[in-house]
Amino acid sequence: MKIEDFDYYLPKDLIAQFPAKNREDARLLIINRKTRKISHSGFKNFKDWLCPEDILVLNDAKVKPARLIGNIGSVCVDVLLVERKKKNFYFVKAKPMKKLKPGVKITFASGSISALVREFESIEYKSMALLEFQIQEDVEDKLNQIGIMPLPPYIKRQARKDDNFRYQTVYARASGAIACPTAGLHFTLPILKDIENKDTKITFVNLNVGLGTFLPVKEIDPRKHKMHKEHFNLQKQAALSIENARKHKGRICAVGTTVCRVLEACAQINAGQFRLVPQQGETDLFIYSPYQFKAVDMLLTNFHFPRTTLLMLVYAFAGRELALKAYQEAVKKKYRFYSYGDCMLII
Whether residues 58 and 117 share a domain: the answer is no
Measured between alpha carbons, how far is 232 from 263 in angstroms, rounded to an integer?
A: 10
**pLDDT score of 29:** 99
The whole-number average pLDDT for the span 24-38 is: 98
Q: What is the pLDDT of residue 56?
A: 99
As a whole number of angstroms, the distance between CA 293 and CA 260 comes to 9
Does 124 have pLDDT greater than 80?
no
Whether residue 298 sits in one domain with residue 334: yes
Mean pLDDT of 93-101: 91
Average pLDDT over residues 239-253: 98
Q: Answer yes or no: do 82 and 46 share one domain.
A: no
Q: HEC profile for the chain?
A: CCHHHHCCCCCHHHECCCCCCCHHHCEEEEEECCCCEEEEEEHHHHHHHCCCCCEEEEECEEECCCEEEEEECCEEEEEEEEEEEECCEEEEEEECHHHCCCCCEEEEHHHCEEEEEEEEEEECCEEEEEEEECCCCCHHHHHHHHCECCCCCCCCCCCCCCHHHHCCCCCCCEEEECCCCHHHHHCCHHHHHHHHHCCCEEEEEEECCCHHHHCECCCCCHHHCCCCCEEEEECHHHHHHHHHHHHCCCCEEEECHHHHHHHHHHEEEECCEEEECCEEEEECCCCCCCCCCCCCCEEEEECCCCCEHHHHHHHHHHCHHHHHHHHHHHHHCCCCECCCCCEEEEC
In this structure, the answer to whether residues 137 and 52 fall within a common structural domain is: no
Instruction: Evaluate whether residue 190 is within a structural domain.
Output: yes
On whether both 54 and 180 belong to a single domain, the answer is: yes
Does one domain contain both 280 and 170?
A: yes
Domain count along the chain: 2
Among residues 115, 147, 179, the one where a domain terminates is 147
The model's pLDDT over 33-71, given as tens digits with 9 standing for 90+, comes to: 999 999 999 999 999 999 999 999 999 999 999 999 999
The percentage of the chain sitting over the pLDDT mark of 70, rounded to a whole number, equals 99
Answer yes or no: is 159 within a domain: no
Tell whether 156 is covered by a domain: no
Q: Which of 81-95, 119-133, 331-345 has the lowest mean pLDDT?
A: 119-133
On average, the pLDDT of the chain sits at 94
pLDDT value of residue 125: 54
The answer to whether residue 157 is domain-embedded is: no
Asked whether the beta carbons of 20 and 26 are under 8 A apart, the reply is yes
284 located within any domain: yes
Same domain membership, residue 239 and residue 115: no
Q: Final residue of a domain: which of 147, 176, 195? A: 147
Domain that holds residue 86: 67-147
Query: What local confidence, expressed as pLDDT, does residue 213 receive?
Result: 77
The Cα–Cα gap between 151 and 183 comes to 15
Taking residues 310-321, report their average pLDDT. Answer: 98
Q: Which of 124-128, 157-161, 302-306 has the lowest mean pLDDT?
A: 124-128
CATH number assigned to the domain comprising residue 27 = 3.40.1780.10
pLDDT at position 216, please?
A: 84
The pLDDT value given to residue 288: 96
Do 221 and 296 lie in a common domain? yes
* Residues contacting 73, CB < 8 A, separation 6+: none
Same domain, 214 and 335: yes
pLDDT tens figures, 258-287? 999 999 999 999 888 999 999 999 999 999
Q: Output the domain CATH number for residue 93.
A: 2.40.10.240
Q: Is residue 89 part of a domain?
A: yes
In a domain, 233, yes or no: yes
92 and 213 share one domain: no
Query: Could you tell me if 227 and 317 lie in one domain?
Result: yes
- Among 119, 147, 175, identify where a domain stops: 147
Same domain? For 275 and 191 the reply is: yes
Of the chain, the end-to-end C-alpha distance in Å amounts to: 25
Flag whether 152 is in a domain: no
State pTM to two decimals. 0.94
